[in-house]
Structure 1
Amino acid sequence: MSIKIIPFKPTHAPIFKELNHKWIEQYFSVEPMDIYLLENCKEHIIDKGGYIFFAKKEDTITGCFALLPVNNTTFELGKMAVSSEFQGLKIGQKMLSFAIEFAKEKALETLILYSSTKLDNALHIYKKFGFKEVPIEKHVEYARSDIKMQLTL
Structure 2
Amino acid sequence: MNPSTLTVTSMTTVEEAEAFRTLNEEWISHFFTIEESDRMTLDDPFGAIVDPGGDVLIVRDGVEIVGCVALVRSSDDVFELSKMALTPAVRGKGLGRQLIKAAIERARGLGAGTLFLGSSTKLPNAVHLYETTGFQHMSPEQVPLAPYARANVFMRMAL
TM-score by length of 1: 0.94
Amino acid of the residue matched to residue 84 of structure 2?
M
Shift of 1:128: 0.5
Shift of 1:140: 3.2
- The one of 49, 53, 58 equivalent to 1:45 is 49
The yes-or-no answer on 1:144 pairing with 2:150 is: yes
The yes-or-no answer on 1:126 pairing with 2:130 is: yes
8 Å contact kept, 2:54–2:110: no
Query: Over residues 76-129 of structure 1, what are the superposed CA-to-partner deviations in whole Å (9 max), with x where a residue is unaligned?
Result: 000100011211121111110101122223342110001111111001110101
The yes-or-no answer on 1:135 pairing with 2:129 is: no
Q: Secondary structure at the match of 1:56?
A: strand
8 Å contact kept, 1:10–1:42: no
Please provide the CA RMSD for this pair: 1.5
Aligned length: 153
Percent of pairs with identical residues:
33
Instruction: Give distance in 2, aligned partners of 1:30 and 1:127.
Output: 25
Amino acid of the residue matched to residue 156 of structure 2?
Q
Please, which runs of 5 or more residues in structure 2 have no aligned partner? none
8 Å contact kept, 2:118–2:147: no
8 Å contact kept, 1:8–1:51: yes
Instruction: Give distance in 2, aligned partners of 1:123 and 1:75.
Output: 18
The yes-or-no answer on 1:90 pairing with 2:94 is: yes
Matches within 5 A, 1:19-30: 19-30=23-34
Shift of 1:142: 1.3
Segment of structure 1 superposing worse, 101-110 or 36-45 = 101-110
8 Å contact kept, 1:62–1:82: yes
Instruction: Give distance in 1, aligned partners of 2:107 and 2:50.
Output: 15
Amino acid of the residue matched to residue 55 of structure 2?
Y
The yes-or-no answer on 1:7 pairing with 2:13 is: no
8 Å contact kept, 2:69–2:99: yes
